[in-house]
Amino acid sequence: MEKIEDFSLSCPIPIQQYPNVLLAHGGGGKLMQQLIERMFLPTFGRFNGVSHDAAALNLPSGKIALTTDSYVVNPLFFPGGDIGSMAVHGTVNDLAMAGARPLYLSAGFILEEGLSMATLWQIVQSMQQAAQKAGVQIVTGDTKVVDQGKGDGIFINTTGIGIIEHQQQIAPNSVQPGDVLLLNGDLGRHGIAIMAVREGLEFETTIESDSAPVASLVLQLLDAGIEIHCLRDLTRGGLASALNEIASAADLSISIEEKQIPVIEDVQGACEILGFDPLYVANEGRFVAFVPPKDAEKALEIMRGHPLGRQACRIGSVGTATGIVTMHSRIGATRLVDMLSGEQLPRIC
Amino acid sequence: MEKIEDFSLSCPIPIQQYPNVLLAHGGGGKLMQQLIERMFLPTFGRFNGVSHDAAALNLPSGKIALTTDSYVVNPLFFPGGDIGSMAVHGTVNDLAMAGARPLYLSAGFILEEGLSMATLWQIVQSMQQAAQKAGVQIVTGDTKVVDQGKGDGIFINTTGIGIIEHQQQIAPNSVQPGDVLLLNGDLGRHGIAIMAVREGLEFETTIESDSAPVASLVLQLLDAGIEIHCLRDLTRGGLASALNEIASAADLSISIEEKQIPVIEDVQGACEILGFDPLYVANEGRFVAFVPPKDAEKALEIMRGHPLGRQACRIGSVGTATGIVTMHSRIGATRLVDMLSGEQLPRIC
């Protein structure tokens, strides 16, 4: 509550007059112009290459990566983040997974009529803070407003451009038998943080989302000359679905060691209560890197030297069987790990 | 109805099993993979630069334009187009307004649980047809599903990249006193086509949206060496709001001639019934070009030689007063044309 009151005070749109978003804020007239001129441009920065609706960018030469994601997470705010910071981290991470240096983002807002203006302001500020920390610039945007009951507060699309400065082919079909799987941290915190808010679950300590921009960590690996065969962030569908996609695309097998995969106790406990498997829970700051054995130790060292890789670990390796993922469990059994089937956690991102 | 039945027959997702979109279609598991593998990739083309979620693009050297728009139009289908074709045309046009050659689009879908799978298929096909006609490639995408009642069928974000091959500064602050305003066709058809469907209005002939990709017309002007000071498409807020924004940014006055502005009779009639002014009604294939007098005749000739500029005309000129737009009416009076205030036509794009 306190937070929301603060944002009312600093909101650049007169809150007494416009406490909530109106359809006219997306109508192309004076109110939309006010929203752009007073809230978006001063916050994201008046990008000097903007001509009409498009940003004009001078990119360094090289290959470009382009990625898009819409964010519909519910609730909008959760321990460790909000829809605004996530919309930046998620797209930055997708660029990082292509081995690209993230440079620019676009931001497309779909607002529901009646959204609190202070909430919008809080989210917009969170986006900008996340963008600054991740070293990207939000250079163009769009605002639409839908009638009450036809949206859910706010949906955000971010599309990102990054530059690919290396010559490696980072993709599932570059994965080789023998490759080592490195994971940058513990699993399941994002999904469980969201579910805890939705279900009103309480833990000894609050479980915070792992939402974070991992691009600088990936770029450190590349800059150090680590050979990287594939990168994958562990969002919707979690580790299990990501590995299944890669195993299937590479037509190889992947085996992982349960006891090597870090899951904090509260997440493990929540999974048991909710009937989830941490292997399928979404993360927003976790990724797996496939590297050849020769580079595994050095890569691990670099990861552990980065704030987002302190707990980095080897979790498995690639074999020659076709398209399957298996896990060697704590109790010594080996089981097949399938792709997520059905819907485990809707609107997690 | 007939249309929808056809799309059920050709739909690559088994309609008997999945007649409607489920939350799981956005969950990151098997159903989402099926949607991507069977519907999106075969339709948009399996872009061979895709690594994980990002497309890797080799761009020709030059300046890049980046633009984003979300589309929330209601209804999803209307005479002359649908949300899919609009999502392509609108973003292509924003790139064109920066004088850029549109190259690549991303597509972000926010689907409402329960959306008919055949409807999604119809829209996806329409997007691809529009992209082909406009000469752009849809290279990366994202799918989210929100629970029933938290969306409205389908929202689409497209973000576009184009290449700027000329050296001109096409922007409001390049506008000069004496510049001539050229318009590429009649006003108001898009907005009225949408309203006619919503309100169940019938006309002598069906009013079709003007939705179209104008990039090839703009590139013809640039290729012919026409000096272009500013370009603006006349979407939300219509001609009146666009000209007010430019007049204000350029700190100059703009005067237009009512009798020069083409509006078809049915649109004029509908505006009278609905209480709208065609100057404020949204268009999706209309733009104004600001050119110096020396190039006006040649530009007009080029525009008239293009299918999307047959009715191109001079509609006014730029003066030295500050930041105002005036119109010389049919009956000889001069009135101030203000920016759209309030909301005229919600969810028009």
How far apart are the C-alpha atoms of B261 and B315, rounded to whole Å?
6
Mean of the per-residue pLDDT values of chain A: 94
Q: A27 — contact with chain B (CB < 8 Å)?
A: yes
Minimal Cα–Cα distance from B225 to chain A, Å? 19
Structural element, H or E, at residue B257: strand B253-257
Chain B residues with beta carbon closer than 8 angstroms to that of A142: 68-70, 157
pLDDT range class, residue A347, cuts 50, 70, 90: very high
How far apart are the C-alpha atoms of A94 and A70, rounded to whole Å?
12
- Percent of chain A at pLDDT > 70 equals 97
User: Nearest Cα to A245, choosing from B38, B33, B54?
Assistant: B33
Span A266-285, average pLDDT: 94
Span A143-147, average pLDDT: 97
How far apart are the C-alpha atoms of A35 and A231, rounded to whole Å?
38
pLDDT range class, residue A205, cuts 50, 70, 90: confident
Say what the pTM is.
Answer: 0.96
Nearest CA in chain B to A234: B28
**Going from the N-terminus, what domains does chain B have, and what CATH number goes with each?**
4-164 (3.30.1330.10), 172-336 (3.90.650.10)
Note whether B64 contacts A59, CB cutoff 8 Å: yes
Note whether A152 contacts B152, CB cutoff 8 Å: no
ipTM of the complex: 0.96
Is beta strand B253-257 parallel, antiparallel or unpaired with respect to B325-328?
parallel
Minimal Cα–Cα distance from B31 to chain A, Å? 7
Is beta strand B81-82 parallel, antiparallel or unpaired with respect to B77-78?
antiparallel
How far apart are the C-alpha atoms of A104 and A128, rounded to whole Å?
12
Is residue A335 helix, strand or coil? strand
Rounded to the nearest 5°, which phi and psi values hold at B288?
-115, 135
Note whether A282 contacts B162, CB cutoff 8 Å: no
How crowded is residue A195: how many other Cβ atoms within 10 Å of its Cβ? 22
Chain A residues with beta carbon closer than 8 angstroms to that of B144: 70-72, 155, 347, 349
Strands of the A63-71 sheet, one edge to the other: A137-146, A101-112, A154-164, A63-71, B54-57, B50-51
The token pair at B148 is 């029933």
Q: B147 — contact with chain A (CB < 8 Å)?
A: yes
Q: Rounded to a whole number, what is the largest CA-CA distance in chain B?
A: 67
- Candidates A46, A93, A103, A157: best to mutate against B (most CBs of B within 10 A) is A157
Chain A segment 220-239 residues within 8 A of B by beta carbon are 230-233, 235-238
Note whether B141 contacts A68, CB cutoff 8 Å: yes
How far apart are the C-alpha atoms of A324 and A337, rounded to whole Å?
8
How far apart are the C-alpha atoms of B11 and A254, rounded to whole Å?
34
Note whether A66 contacts B104, CB cutoff 8 Å: yes
Residue A103 pLDDT greater than 60, yes or no: yes
Chain A residues with beta carbon closer than 8 angstroms to that of B342: 24, 27, 29-31
pLDDT range class, residue A188, cuts 50, 70, 90: very high
Residue A80 pLDDT greater than 70, yes or no: yes
Q: Are B4 and B118 in contact (CB under 8 A)?
A: yes
Note whether A55 contacts B71, CB cutoff 8 Å: no
Chain A segment 283-342 residues within 8 A of B by beta carbon are 339-342
Q: B214 — contact with chain A (CB < 8 Å)?
A: no
Chain A residues with beta carbon closer than 8 angstroms to that of B108: 68-70, 108, 157, 159
Is residue A282 helix, strand or coil? coil
Note whether B29 contacts A343, CB cutoff 8 Å: yes
Q: Estimate the crossing angle of helix A265-274 against helix A189-199, to 10 degrees.
A: 50
Residue A116 pLDDT greater than 70, yes or no: yes
Q: B64 — contact with chain A (CB < 8 Å)?
A: yes
Note whether A161 contacts B69, CB cutoff 8 Å: no
User: Nearest Cα to B218, choosing from B66, B60, B62, B100?
Assistant: B100
Chain A residues with beta carbon closer than 8 angstroms to that of B17: none
Note whether A341 contacts B30, CB cutoff 8 Å: yes
Q: A37 — contact with chain B (CB < 8 Å)?
A: no
Nearest CA in chain A to B65: A56
- Candidates B44, B59, B64, B66: best to mutate against A (most CBs of A within 10 A) is B66
Residue A220 pLDDT greater than 60, yes or no: yes
Q: A4 — contact with chain B (CB < 8 Å)?
A: no
How far apart are the C-alpha atoms of B70 and B142, rounded to whole Å?
13
Per residue in A223-254, pLDDT tens?
999 999 999 999 999 999 999 999 999 999 99
With a cut of 50, list the residues of chain B below it in pLDDT: 1-4
Chain B residues with beta carbon closer than 8 angstroms to that of A282: 28
Residue A1 pLDDT greater than 50, yes or no: no
- Torsion, CA B73, CA B78, CA B84, CA B88, rounded to 10: -90
Per residue in B118-161, pLDDT tens?
999 999 999 999 999 999 999 999 999 999 999 999 999 999 99
Structural element, H or E, at residue A145: strand A137-146
Which pLDDT belongs to residue B340? Answer: 83
pLDDT range class, residue A4, cuts 50, 70, 90: very low
- Candidates B23, B70, B325: best to mutate against A (most CBs of A within 10 A) is B70
Minimal Cα–Cα distance from A52 to chain B, Å? 7
Per residue in B159-190, pLDDT tens?
999 999 999 999 999 999 999 999 999 999 99
With 0-12 CB in 10 A as exposed, 13-18 as middle and 19+ as buried, what is A41? Answer: middle
Residue A66 pLDDT greater than 80, yes or no: yes
Which pLDDT belongs to residue A2? Answer: 45
Note whether A94 contacts B341, CB cutoff 8 Å: no
User: Nearest Cα to A89, choosing from A303, A308, A330?
Assistant: A308
Which pLDDT belongs to residue A189? Answer: 97
Choose among B27, B152, B232: nearest Cβ to A236. Answer: B27
Which pLDDT belongs to residue A276? Answer: 93
Span A14-26, average pLDDT: 95
- Percent of chain A at pLDDT > 90 equals 87
Minimal Cα–Cα distance from B56 to chain A, Å? 4
Span A204-218, average pLDDT: 95
In sequence order, the β-bridge partners of residue A160 are A67, A105
Q: A249 — contact with chain B (CB < 8 Å)?
A: no
The token pair at B233 is 């498409």
Choose among A68, A139, A236: nearest Cβ to B108. Answer: A68
